[in-house]
Amino acid sequence: MIKIKSSAELQKMLRSNEIAAQALALAGRSIKAGMSTWELDKIIHDFIVSKGAVPSSLGYCGFPNSACISVNEELIHGIPSKKKIIKEGDIVTVDVTTLFDGFQGDNARTFKVGTVSPNAERLMKITEEALWKGIEQAVAGNRVGDISAAVQQHVESNGYHVVRQYVGHGIGTEMHEDPEVPNFGKAGRGPRLVPGMTICIEPMVNETTPDVKVLSDKWTVVEANGNLSAHFEHCIAITNDKPMILTLESH
């Protein structure tokens, strides 16, 4: 069931997502070669807690850390580790979730560490562009499929591959609510978008195949060929006007 948020609920969501966005921006400023993904996770955790919020990934279905941090061929759900050291030229995806005043925040971004390869640069550019193509379609009266088709068309027309096993989602008091928001599909299909809906649009894009594998840790999802992956995500609200991006550092 799709839950429509009241204006008061949207204000609470705005605050939670603002904290998530600030934490993600802090992560981007903090990433450097030589640090472990565990160190980066601790920076994110401490910031979220300092704002009176809870990192909602911590303990979610048994996930052991406060943020998902995925490097290079890792698409999503990377487990931070003291043994995983970030290197010059890596691309690092950070997915930050928060719980504040009963409502969830959720956003993700792939960051570059120093100078990265032209392939990595282009993959990140196309994935982020696909996010904005999807957001453009997130207006009242359209359908979820309009978002999905816009993302898929941009990714595939540029020679990359959308992952199909994992999708965007509704969000509210729960991290994952209805409706699912795939990164592939046909325009004009799926649930109608109405004001008060809150959804996460999150293109997850692989360099050479749509296929993924889950590693033995049961969490980390990697590009099946071992090539690069990128992931960008915003949480947005459907309004009577243009989409409201909830995951901004300030509103």
Tens of pLDDT along 167-226? Answer: 999 999 999 999 999 999 999 999 999 999 999 999 999 999 999 999 999 999 999 999
CA distance readout (Å), 193 to 51, 71, 167:
32, 34, 17
205-223 in b/e form (b: 16+ CB < 10 A) is bbbeebebeeeeeebbbbb
Average confidence (pLDDT) per 10 residues, the chain, 251 residues: 97 98 98 98 98 97 98 98 98 98 98 98 98 98 98 98 98 98 98 98 98 98 98 98 96 73
What is the pLDDT at residue 251?
73
Is the residue at 43 inside a domain? yes
Is the residue at 27 inside a domain? yes
Torsion of CA 144, 200, 95, 232, to 10 degrees: 50
- Mean pLDDT, rounded, of the chain: 98
Is the residue at 44 inside a domain? yes
Is the residue at 2 inside a domain? no
Is the residue at 1 inside a domain? no
Is the residue at 250 inside a domain? no
Contact 51, 19 (CB under 8 A): yes
* Domain extent at residue 35: 7-245
Is the residue at 124 inside a domain? yes
3-state helix, strand and coil shares in percent for the chain, rounded to the nearest 5: 30, 25, 45
Residue 107: give its domain's CATH number: 3.90.230.10
How many folded domains does the chain comprise?
Answer: 1
d(CA 28, CA 13): 22
Is the residue at 251 inside a domain? no
In eight-state DSSP terms, residue 5 is P
pTM for the whole structure: 0.97
